Structure 1
């Protein structure tokens, strides 16, 4: 439903649902309540399990995918509220207050209540979104060069693959030296670091679906949980079990 300053809706998506690339004339915050959400844009790829939200600025072309049955609150903000919000897509930590405000926005607009109350809720939400984010955002840049895009697509299709750089370069019809340079210049990460980040993001998605740590480690090509846990802790800042527990503490029953 719509108000002059905000649109708010609660939406359920079946497993495997995909939304083709599109744009909104308003900035959108998608607060995930259940399942997983993937947003892709020209910048890269974001993943949100429950406990995180994804902000998409106005007029940014993007697509969405829900790998499992998911529930999400979509809040779209009018121009008067988006000027102070991030100019690029971003992950947002869903605090108890932000989640409560999102639910309240949906409720207020559904009840056609007074504009003053809705605007107050929206302004509080904007302040929450603007708060410095703690912990890593689940974002992976894919670059703009055609060869790099092809390479990152191959890696995303098989995150457990240990394909070496020279073989990957051959597959996308370039040299290993050129592909290595493209990874650094366009993603800010060397090839091996990019693949490590890919595996951590995939791990969060798998764990959010209910897979165990050992199932996740094996699915990502690790022979044991020790090496997987070491990588996850190094990149995320806490072991996978603790990280997922922290996210689940923010999850609400739906």
Structure 2
């Protein structure tokens, strides 16, 4: 079976059929082929979704997230989510019983994974048995890892899409043609609203002013292009920046570093 996103064909895949967790934390490590869509699903536990290698697009509730390596996302229990994998991905995911997590129960969070936590996750996925001893050294390792994961700093990789159909049409238009201006006036006209009403409703629906949302979408779209080897100049023009320097400045403001250092 196939699905379509942004005019691209995807092979559909299903997730694990696991119904209960054998321990407080269940480690999953496996590869996902490029061009795969993992169909919408939800769990009764927390998931820390992390790819050691490869780029994923994650739809979690009303949130769309472009997730490069070294970034992870907390997906709360009951949150419907989908994965779109455009390149080969090495997933290292953790399923975690809800009662051992102290995060807000309905909050999807994107976080930055440092080198130490990255190595710790890999150790858990490759070295700890499924039925590890929760009362011994293995259990203490897992408790430390959970503390570290919950203290990771937030990252600006989430992009909320509005549920309102008219506002969503605007967002999809920007996503399909990020190189076009998509001014406030044009977007308000597309939504059949005044600019003031559009701005107010958009901020309420997404938590971001329209110009910030538009810029974040352009920069997140740029990540996949840069990872594929396209030049900064080419990517800057493709996502709507008039000069590479303007693109680099905006990239540095959002991600805290230049495209070269980011990758």
Q: TM-score, normalised by structure 1?
A: 0.84
Distance 1:202 1:35 in 2: 15
Relative contact order: is structure 1 or structure 2 higher (C-alpha 8 Å, sep ≥ 6)?
1
Q: Hey, what does 1:38 align to over in structure 2? A: 57
- Find the partner of 1:85 among 103, 109, 113: 103
- Find the partner of 2:183 among 156, 164, 175: 164
Task: Assess, with a 3 A threshold, how the Cα gap between structure 1 residues 226 and 185 changes in structure 2: closer, same or farther.
Answer: same
Distance 1:173 1:18 in 2: 33
SS in 1 for 2:65: strand
Shift, 1:186, TM fit: 2.0
Q: Hey, what does 2:92 align to over in structure 1? A: 73
Given that 1:32 and 1:51 are in contact with CA atoms closer than 8 Å, whether structure 2 keeps it comes out as: yes
Shift, 1:171, TM fit: 3.5
Verify: 1:17 aligned to 2:36, yes or no: yes
Q: Unaligned regions of 5+ residues in structure 1, if any?
A: 245-254
Q: Hey, what does 1:250 align to over in structure 2? A: none
Verify: 1:127 aligned to 2:147, yes or no: yes
Q: Unaligned regions of 5+ residues in structure 2, if any?
A: 1-17
Counting helix residues as a fraction of each chain, which structure ranks higher?
1
Q: Hey, what does 2:116 align to over in structure 1? A: 97
SS in 2 for 1:3: coil
The superposition leaves residues 200-233 of structure 1 with CA deviations (integer Å, 9 ceiling, x where unpaired) of 2122232233332122212212233111112212
Verify: 1:51 aligned to 2:79, yes or no: no
SS in 2 for 1:123: helix
Task: Assess, with a 3 A threshold, how the Cα gap between structure 1 residues 71 and 86 changes in structure 2: closer, same or farther.
Answer: farther
Given that 1:169 and 1:175 are in contact with CA atoms closer than 8 Å, whether structure 2 keeps it comes out as: yes
Task: Assess, with a 3 A threshold, how the Cα gap between structure 1 residues 239 and 108 changes in structure 2: closer, same or farther.
Answer: closer
Shift, 1:117, TM fit: 3.8
SS in 2 for 1:179: helix
The superposition leaves residues 160-196 of structure 1 with CA deviations (integer Å, 9 ceiling, x where unpaired) of 2223333334444444443222222222332222111
Verify: 1:237 aligned to 2:253, yes or no: no
Paired positions, count: 242
Distance 2:143 2:114 in 1: 15
Distance 2:179 2:241 in 1: 8
Shift, 1:27, TM fit: 0.6
Q: Hey, what does 1:140 align to over in structure 2? A: 159
Shift, 1:138, TM fit: 0.6
Distance 1:113 1:22 in 2: 27
Distance 1:209 1:68 in 2: 9
SS in 1 for 2:240: coil
Q: Hey, what does 2:240 align to over in structure 1? A: 221
